[in-house]
Structure 1
Amino acid sequence: MYEWNDRLEQDYRRYVGDKWFQGLNARDRKGYQEARNQWQRAREVGNRFRDGMAFLRGQTPERGYEKEVRVKTDRGPRIQDVANREIREGSEYKSGRVDKEKTLPQLDKEERLIIQGWRLDWTTVEGARIDREVQDRVRELTAKYPDRFKIQEVSREQLRLALTVAKNLEKQRKKQEREHRQREKEKAQQRAIDERAVQRLTKSKQQVKTYELHRADRARKRLEHIREIVKARDRSEGFQAIQKFRDAADRGRTAGRAVPQQEERQRDEHQREVPTTPARAERERIIQLAKERAVREWRDEWLGLKPREQSGRHTQQERERQERETREREAADAAVHKARKAAAARLAVVREQEREAFERGQRLPMDGREIADLLAVTQPTPTELERARERPAPEMPRGRDKELGRERTRERDR
């Protein structure tokens, strides 16, 4: 039994048609397959003989030699086993029988190539069968073109050596092809890995960018909220300070009005009890004028309407106090700036840690330290607070101010 397939069936039918057209008998399927296998083995031996001899003779691709070179002639194309187009050299290797049906047309084309300037040589194996017509034609070409056509014969040992060399070359070629395929496969895998890494990196960058934008937006809103809280606290402190000042002013006004009334009542009672003489009345009048002037000066100084005369010593003390307060305020400002800088550095570290955690698919919670750092970054300095307190307070209607003053006076009198 022998193997058969669709391709062999098609080749066999083509073979039978050619034989029928030529008027010859065709082999059966088994004979056709045996002849086909024999021809394939002979072809493999011939190709190995060609490759081994070409290698031994130095006809390699590095030196410009190629296999199965097609050259045009007026008798049709000629395919040289090994040839160099640049120097116009060709070689034909025959490892087995040399029959006239195939070889004589080749020799005619070789002569055309010799006329075109080619140098050719043929190599045969010792003991191989060569038809007489072929031998005559070869001797004719050798005699006619001694410098451009040569034929040589190698021994069986040289044939075996060439076949061994060709077999090793074929193994090396297959090994190189496997290595090349493996390298291409590894390159393809590495390219796929790189592409996936680039895609992951791009996606990660987009996610990090989106996260950073959301985080920056949240931080901006948080800082705005903190600033609003600080501003509200400053406004509340400023309003409380103004309210204290107004309460003190109201108390001063009430006290300024109450003292003269009380003294007037005491004076009236004293006048009723003690008989009044002209000298005594004049003395009491002068004393009363001095008291009233002292009350007016104290009231004006309390209400800030008239500055008090200051001595040189008091002015020097006030200046020293102001300088001391300025130094203390500058030191406090420096401490606040230092705390801001340290808090900003810690916030930068926390931000980097959150970014790395986000890349790993995690989210770090906000702790008390981070909230304290955010408050420290937005904490105003004493100078800034002082400026906020110096802002003018909203004015109240004068009628309302007087009404509040009267209500406070009534409460004290009770």
Structure 2
Amino acid sequence: MYDETSPRYAGWRVVLACFLLALSIFGFALYAQGIYLIELERLNGWPPPLISGASTLSLLIGNVVVIFTDEIVGQLGLKRLALAGIACLATSMVLLPFAAAPWTLYAAFALMSLGWVGMGTVIIPAVIGAWFVRRRGLAISLAFLGASSGGIIVTPLLMVLVSHLGFQTAMVAASAVLLIVLLPATFAWIGPPPNVSATAASADQSSPAPGTGISRGEIVRRPAFWTIAIPFALGIIAQVGFIVHQIAILEPKIGALKAGLAVSVMTLMAIVGRVSLSVVADLLDPRLVAAISLVSQSVAVFTIHLSDNVHLVLLASGVFGFSIGNLITLPPLIIHREFEVQNFTVVMGLFTSISGTVGAFGPGLIGLIRGWRGDYGAALLLTIALEVIAAAIVLARAANPGVAKELDCARR
């Protein structure tokens, strides 16, 4: 037997490896996009729409390929898929600053999208799910703390490197550091747990038993899936849309400097929220936590909509930020509870594809409404409505009773 609560349990080293994966993919493939936009425009004179179009295409490619994560895992296993993701990300980071033509730019971003498949929000909970049952919520929350840390650690350090070494040298150096850190951690720690009990062995996602898989057609016919996919997709539309437009929303209210401070407060509280959730994740109903998170964000947005008071706006930004990470952390916890363990990667892959694709329309939708109405009032009201509707849907109980009973027995 093994003790998940023991600091000596090898699964915690797996959590560290997954933290590093999340730190790298979110840091270099998401938060650093602004750096790439500025530097590529400066180097090549390309218009911003050309560069941002490549970035958008990469996200769409990732959302399509992630649907087939279950089949890819079946062919490669979790370790080799993670290594392939690292290789794709590192290669794209080297190619990006040397792109001399638009097609090489788009090829580099396409490789980056494949990095998401091997290092992103499907693989990380799948790896951790093979090692944890009782403390799964804590483990997944701690691993995804790397996602928030990517914007705080990777982006500023990359900016420093670029300012001292130049964009091309900085990206090559960053890629080298990425490989030096991630390859040993992945080789050493990513994979199924050795010599574990039958219950834990059944959680090994890298070797699914033949004939036990669920088809995607069966998944979409389960109400439980849509009571996860719909609310989180709506929540991501609202959340991503608000984050992208936050400074533009706040600047007329409280000024540019304080709007920047509000973003910093939101980011800091996102980390506080992730850490807080990690402590209690295994004790709470993740659907209830999701509903509370969505409602709290709607209250925060409503406060910002009504108030020009600096202190209230900063407080509301902090409240909104506290729940940002929950829309990434909670879906795998719900899926682990409500679907058979051998079907986790196929369910999570389909969920990620739907929520990611739908969520990508958030910034454009908010911008379109703002342009139509002339201000952000109607867009903020839509954001509030989406989050309230999402909170109501996610509370719907459509779980497979057999799965819930099996998980309760495992935890005991």
TM-score relative to the length of structure 1:
0.16
Greater fraction helix: 2
TM-score relative to the length of structure 2:
0.16
Bigger Rg, which one: 1
Greater fraction strand: 1
